[in-house]
């Protein structure tokens, strides 16, 4: 089984995508992470949903969760207003290592190793080598586990 057999289309965001629009993508179809691409559609970062939520929740609430108890849903929605003014670039750490990506000819274990190395719930698959190779889709942890487990129960 190769990456080419497993890869499925996956929506991407760019560095200038508003965080609000990116967060909305995650709420659809229970997507596990954002895939951030550059102007060539080459993936540059994978941002798990839990890290996006970390960005959304104000830091002073993370430091003092008891405060959250007295704040209502209207306040929660004010968090959203700020998200409209921030972009995906603000979500990413300033220094980030180059993202490892899969290629269509990679096999199941190579994909599994990559996923473990990136500690990500999915890997991006690109068509070809080089820094401008465009993304053709993604493979999730669930798909890799399903490939490793035998068909029968």
Interface residues with a copy of itself (CB under 8 A) are 1, 20, 23-24, 26-28, 30-32, 48-50, 52-54, 56-57, 61-62, 65, 68-69, 71-73, 75-77, 79-80, 83, 106-110, 112-117, 119-121, 140-150, 153
Residue spans of beta strands (DSSP E) within 43-148: 43-48, 122-126, 135-140
Nearer to a copy of itself, 83 or 124 (CB): 83
Q: CA 135, CA 41: separation in Å to the nearest integer?
A: 6
Nearer to a copy of itself, 40 or 84 (CB): 84
**What is the length of the chain?**
153
CB of 71 to a copy of itself, least distance (A): 5
Q: CA 38, CA 132: separation in Å to the nearest integer?
A: 9
User: Which tokens belong to 24?
Assistant: 């909305």
CB of 135 to a copy of itself, least distance (A): 20
């Amino acid at each position: 089984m190769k990456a080419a057999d497993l890869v499925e289309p996956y929506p991407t965001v760019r560095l200038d995508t508003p965080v609000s629009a990116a967060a909305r993508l995650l709420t659809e179809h229970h997507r596990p992470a954002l895939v951030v691409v550059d102007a060539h559609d080459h993936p540059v970062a994978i941002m798990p949903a839990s890290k996006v939520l970390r960005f959304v929740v104000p830091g002073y609430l993370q430091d003092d969760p008891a405060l959250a108890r007295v704040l209502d849903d209207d306040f929660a929605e004010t968090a959203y207003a700020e998200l409209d003014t921030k972009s995906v670039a603000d979500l990413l750490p300033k220094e980030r290592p180059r993202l490892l990506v899969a290629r269509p000819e990679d096999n199941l274990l190579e994909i599994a190793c990559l996923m473990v190395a990136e500690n990500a719930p999915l890997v991006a698959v690109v068509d070809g080598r080089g820094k401008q190779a465009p993304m053709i889709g993604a493979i999730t942890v669930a798909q890799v586990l399903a490939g490793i487990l035998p068909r029968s129960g």
